[in-house]
């Protein structure tokens, strides 16, 4: 099955490595905190919020997004303990089955970057086994992220994590496809990203 994926490091004919960015170490402390209870997790959130301010002042904003790592850690905790049969968000690759969705997601992720940075990202057709994809509604993840970032609402984020791994979706789902299996970049189609300018 052909799906779509964008990357700064991938080249045509490369095999994709699930979780190649290895952000596990940024999420693990949040998972450990949650295993000790919500209060411990909440304390980690406040500590993360403080570190966000420090890193943001040091122009290291990308690494400072405590809410991202807390949300990913919370999701991995729920997956590991309640949905172990599901693909880990931390140990997978993300795909779109529709080219226009992939271009839209690229624009959401990279739209604020300058042209030089955008040109470092390439779009690929990728071959994956059809039975290896799990379809999830990223808007559920986004709602959990907002609950953590805006309100430090652990219970609401946990509710969304359970919905995400149960395969539930909202009224207007924004589908992402996760796979920890074999995947090969078969064709660089980056011209589709450049043509939209």
Domain ranges of the chain: 2-195
- What's the pLDDT at 55? 76
d(CA 95, CA 161): 19
Q: What is residue 62's predicted lDDT score, i.e. its pLDDT?
A: 58
Low-confidence ranges of the chain (pLDDT < 50): none
Residue linked to tokens 């089955």: 97
**First vs last Cα of the chain: how many Å apart?**
29
Q: What residue has token string 């919500």?
A: 38
Note the pLDDT of residue 57. Answer: 78
C-alpha distances in Å from residue 15, one per residue of 67, 90, 126, 141: 30, 18, 9, 27
**pTM given for the model:** 0.86
pLDDT score recorded for residue 130: 82
User: Which pLDDT score is estimated for 71?
Assistant: 96
Q: Which residues contact 153 (CB under 8 A, 6 or more apart)?
A: 147
Cβ(179)–Cβ(128) below 8 Å: yes
**pLDDT score of 125:** 97
């Amino acid at each position: 099955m052909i799906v779509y994926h964008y990357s700064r490091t991938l080249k045509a004919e490369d095999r994709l490595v699930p979780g190649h960015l290895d952000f596990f170490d940024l999420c693990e402390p949040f998972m450990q905190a949650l295993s000790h209870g919500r209060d411990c997790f909440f304390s980690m959130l406040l500590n993360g919020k403080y570190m966000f301010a420090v890193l943001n002042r040091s122009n290291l904003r990308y690494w400072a997004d405590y809410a991202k790592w807390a949300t990913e850690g919370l999701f991995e905790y729920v997956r590991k303990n309640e949905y172990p049969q599901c693909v880990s968000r931390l140990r997978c690759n993300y795909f779109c089955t529709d080219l226009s969705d992939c271009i839209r997601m690229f624009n959401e992720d990279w739209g604020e970057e300058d042209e030089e940075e955008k040109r470092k990202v390439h779009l690929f057709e990728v071959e994956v086994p059809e039975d290896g994809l799990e379809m999830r509604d990223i808007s559920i993840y986004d709602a959990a992220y907002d609950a953590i970032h805006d309100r430090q609402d652990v219970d609401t984020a946990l509710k969304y994590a359970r919905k995400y791994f149960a395969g539930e979706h909202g009224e207007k789902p924004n589908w992402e496809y996760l796979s920890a299996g074999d995947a090969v970049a078969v064709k660089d189609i980056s011209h589709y990203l450049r043509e939209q300018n």
